[in-house]
Structure 1
Amino acid sequence: MEAALGVFFICCMSVLSPFSGVDEGELRGCPPSPNCVSSQSMKYNFIHKVNPISYSTSREVAFQTISKYFHESENIYISEEKEGEYIRIIFFTKVFRFPDRVEVYFPEGTNEMQVRSQSTLGLWDVFANRRRVNKFREILSESGS
């Protein structure tokens, strides 16, 4: 029983981690484990590196497009949304309902969305975070068509 409670608290702490959000115009970095990708922090770490997502529409349209996707999707909990700038989401896997933490950030003055996606359980994510980021890339490229 104590072991189960310990696992539960560790899971809760990883989902509600203070190591999220935007700090000095950048998303926070990834931990050393290969279950996280980021387009911004730890720029020179090839294990975690993904390119930012470019869009051809206005910042507001891009934000609304990705926000609409999050609001209409299943197995997603939006834990924080700052209009036009930042969204923190928790994705739950379909089978076992494992939580994955995702953040998107739209810095001013660029046509790029910065993204960070991390599996909160397990050491390796079987490229799930990279596939998720590529899905976001598809959604924003369709909005500019």
Structure 2
Amino acid sequence: MEAALGVFFICCMSVLSPFSGVDEGELRGCPPSPNCVSSQSMKYNFVHKVDPIVYSTSREEAYKRISKFFHESENIFISEEKEGEYIRIIFFTKVFRFPDRVEVYFPSDKNEVQVRSQSLLGLWDIFANRRRVNSFREILGKAES
């Protein structure tokens, strides 16, 4: 019972962590561990670096696509959503239900999505966060339906 409560509180603290959100137009940086990728804030750290996702549609259409994907997917909890600008999601792995925090931010001045994906438990994610970001690239790169 105590272990279950401990895991619950750790997950709650992770969801409400001050290391998430947008600050002065940028997503927060990654911790030193290799279980996080970000397109901002650690621009020169090759361990965490991923490119922002460039889209060719309107900002509104790109936001609708990614938001629809999140709302229709399983094992996802949307913890914050600012229409047309920012979404924070907690992904849970299918087998062990490990939580991963994902943030997508749509700056108003560019046709790109800034993204941050971090495993909240463990030290290494076996490139799961990079694969997840690449799946977002495919979603935003689809031709309009």
TM-score by length of 2: 0.94
The residue type paired with residue 51 of structure 2 is: N
How big is each residue's C-alpha offset from its partner over 1:84-114, in whole Å with a ceiling of 9 and x where there is no partner?
0000000000001111000000001101000
Matches within 5 A, 1:71-110: 71-110=71-110
Question: Does the 8 Å contact 1:87/1:105 carry over to 2?
Answer: yes
Across the two proteins, how many residue pairs are aligned to each other? 145
**2:51 alignment partner in structure 1:** 51
**2:14 alignment partner in structure 1:** 14
**1:115 alignment partner in structure 2:** 115
CA gap 1:3/1:139 in 2 versus in 1, 3 angstroms? closer
Cα separation, 1, equivalents of 2:36 and 2:128: 9
Question: Does the 8 Å contact 2:86/2:104 carry over to 1?
Answer: yes
Cα separation, 2, equivalents of 1:76 and 1:11: 14
Question: Does the 8 Å contact 1:56/1:144 carry over to 2?
Answer: no
Is the partner of 1:113 in helix, strand or coil? strand
TM-score by length of 1: 0.94
What is the CA distance between 1:10 and its match in structure 2? 2.9
Q: Give the ranges of 4+ consecutive aligned residues of structure 1 lying more than 3 Å apart after TM superposition.
A: 1-8
Matches within 5 A, 1:16-55: 16-55=16-55
Cα separation, 2, equivalents of 1:98 and 1:8: 12
How big is each residue's C-alpha offset from its partner over 1:47-69, in whole Å with a ceiling of 9 and x where there is no partner?
00000000000000000000000
- In structure 1, the gaps of 5 or more residues are none
CA gap 1:143/1:70 in 2 versus in 1, 3 angstroms? farther
Question: Does the 8 Å contact 1:65/1:143 carry over to 2?
Answer: no
Is the partner of 2:29 in helix, strand or coil? coil
CA gap 1:67/1:3 in 2 versus in 1, 3 angstroms? closer
The residue type paired with residue 39 of structure 1 is: S
| 2:130 matches 1:138 | no
CA gap 1:98/1:144 in 2 versus in 1, 3 angstroms? same
Cα separation, 2, equivalents of 1:55 and 1:127: 23
Cα separation, 2, equivalents of 1:99 and 1:143: 31
Superposed CA RMSD: 1.6
